[in-house]
Amino acid sequence: MTVMRIIGLAGWSGSGKTTLVTKVIPVLMKRGLKVATVKHAHHEFDADQPGKDSWRHREAGASEVAIVSSRRWAILHELRQEPEPPLAEILGKLSPVDLVIVEGFKRHPHPKLEVYRAVIGKPLLYPDDDCIVAIATDAALPEAQVPVLTLDDIEAIANVLQAEALPREQIGSLSSEASGSDA
């Protein structure tokens, strides 16, 4: 049985989290890992196209709409007045994989690699977040007490993601999570 392990990428908007995810997934796949991602969005988003049948079903009030084709399937769940689900609940809905990379949820207590670019003008999340296990950056950070990697060293970043990911069972649904669902 596959043990699903969880690791996050955290950082301010514009730091390059999504770019890094798209570069590291192929490296992890070449290593034989099955990878899934969970992406937190600050804003309302739509994975469906206005006017299409499935969109019309949701607009009519369906709480869930499954879209199925010979190439992919998706279930869209409308929260309506329900609160955003906790990360642990979302992880429980995923199919079995070796590694889940969580982008966002930066205040949630799970191991994270911080993606940091000084040009963004925001402070490091580390050391205020003790879940940060390493930092991928384009800046020198000699004061850091965690491993510091360059953003273009994708192999080293993949190594850290693999080594520091925790089994899903160790990723709790803690009370602090309610405030931790930000990207």
Look at residue 45 and tell me whether its pLDDT is greater than 80.
no
pLDDT at 60: 84
Among 98, 100, 130, smallest CA distance to 114 is for: 130
Residues 6+ positions from 159 with CB-CB distance below 8 Å? none
Q: Mean pLDDT over all residues of the chain?
A: 88
Percent of the chain past pLDDT 70, that is, above it, reads 91
**Cα–Cα distance, 8 to 98 (Å, whole number):** 14
**pLDDT above 70 for 99:** yes
Residue with tokens 């034989």: 32
pLDDT tens, 124-144?
999 999 999 999 999 999 999
pLDDT of residue 135: 98
CA-to-CA distance for 87 and 180, rounded, in angstroms? 9
Lowest mean pLDDT among 54-68, 98-112, 143-157: 54-68
Answer yes or no: is pLDDT of 44 > 70: no
What digits encode the pLDDT tens for the residues 2-33?
A: 799 999 999 999 999 999 999 999 999 999 99
Which of 17, 21, 40, 8 shows the shortest CA–CA distance to 116? 17
Q: Which CATH superfamily groups domain 5-44+83-179? A: P-loop containing nucleotide triphosphate hydrolases (3.40.50.300)
- Copy the structure tokens of residue 152: 């273009």
| Mean pLDDT value across residues 157-174 | 87
pTM above 0.85, yes or no: yes
